[in-house]
């Protein structure tokens, strides 16, 4: 029961983490306008995402434009696109693997194999977490470097958007949940043990038991 509870806990964390990765991938708020120095125009805010750029007016109106060319994007955006998609696909794959090996399902009969399948699902989720962590840290590093670079105009400086914080939260959930899935399953348990019974005592023809049974 404890192992099954840990499996449910780890799977829940990983599913939530995968959903947050998908949300962060679709949100346009990876980079937001930085209001510094002479850049005090607060009538509009610019959002830069993986798939589109949006301009939000102070009146609440928002206009978005999808990126026309992938090759025209910066290297960090291109890498973020690819790695977040791979992470999302691995999240779905990990879900199917863990469900197949979970103790509450009968897809696999052998308990030892089921434990290994759940462990494999946990490893998939951990790899998925690292795949989404790389573009997040890469883009955050570029944003901070450009922010403190005096050669970059103030109008082009950006700050870290909400999508990056959501991605970091998703990474933490994936790593924690994957670790729980790797540690919660038994390593074979009682599957490798065989029960040995003592030989039955046999009576001699005269009705007495053989003395060898007592040696």
* Residues 125-182: tens digit of each pLDDT: 999 999 999 999 999 999 898 888 888 777 778 888 899 999 999 999 999 999 998 8
Residue 94's pLDDT is 92
All domains in the chain, ordered by first residue = 1-29+73-184 (1.20.140.150)
* Residues 100-128: tens digit of each pLDDT: 888 777 777 777 888 888 889 999 999 99
* DSSP per-residue codes, 95-109: HHHHHHH-TT--S--
For residues 72 and 88, give the distance between their C-alpha atoms in angstroms, rounded to a whole number.
24
Q: Please tell me the least confidently modeled range out of 30-44, 45-59, 82-96, 141-155.
A: 30-44
Sign of CA dihedral 133, 138, 143, 148: positive
The answer to whether residues 122 and 181 touch, using CB atoms and an 8 Å cutoff, is yes
* Residues 9-33: tens digit of each pLDDT: 889 999 999 999 999 999 888 988 8
- Is the overall model pTM greater than 0.85, yes or no? no
Residue 192's pLDDT is 44
Residue 100's pLDDT is 87
CA dihedral of 144, 161, 171, 173, whole degrees rounded to 10: 140
The answer to whether residues 117 and 97 touch, using CB atoms and an 8 Å cutoff, is yes
CA–centroid distance for 135 within its chain: 14
Residue 77's pLDDT is 87
Mean pLDDT value across residues 80-92: 93
Sorted by sequence, the CB contacts under 8 Å of residue 46 that are 6+ apart come out as 32, 33, 53, 54, 55, 56
pLDDT value at 49 more than 90: no
Sign of CA dihedral 40, 41, 42, 45: negative
Tokens read off for 113: 């194999």
């Amino acid at each position: 029961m404890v192992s099954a509870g840990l499996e449910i806990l780890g799977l829940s964390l990983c599913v939530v983490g995968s959903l947050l990765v998908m949300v962060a991938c679709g949100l346009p708020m990876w980079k937001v306008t930085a209001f510094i120095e002479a850049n005090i125009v607060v009538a509009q805010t610019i959002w830069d995402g993986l798939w589109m750029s949006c301009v939000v007016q102070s009146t609440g109106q928002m206009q978005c434009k999808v990126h026309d060319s992938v090759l025209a994007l910066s290297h960090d955006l291109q890498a973020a696109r690819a790695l977040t998609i791979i992470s999302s696909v691995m999240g779905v794959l990990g879900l199917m693997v863990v469900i197949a090996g979970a103790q509450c399902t009968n897809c696999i009969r052998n308990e030892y194999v089921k434990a290994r399948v759940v462990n494999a699902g946990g490893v998939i989720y951990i790899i998925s977490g690292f795949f989404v962590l790389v573009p997040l840290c890469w883009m955050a590093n570029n944003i901070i470097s450009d922010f403190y670079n005096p050669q970059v105009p103030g109008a082009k400086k950006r700050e870290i958007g909400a999508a990056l914080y959501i991605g970091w939260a998703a990474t933490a959930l994936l790593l924690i949940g994957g670790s729980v899935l790797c540690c919660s399953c038994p390593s074979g348990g009682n599957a490798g043990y065989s029960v040995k019974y003592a030989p039955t005592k046999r009576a001699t023809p005269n009705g007495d038991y053989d003395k060898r049974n007592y040696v």
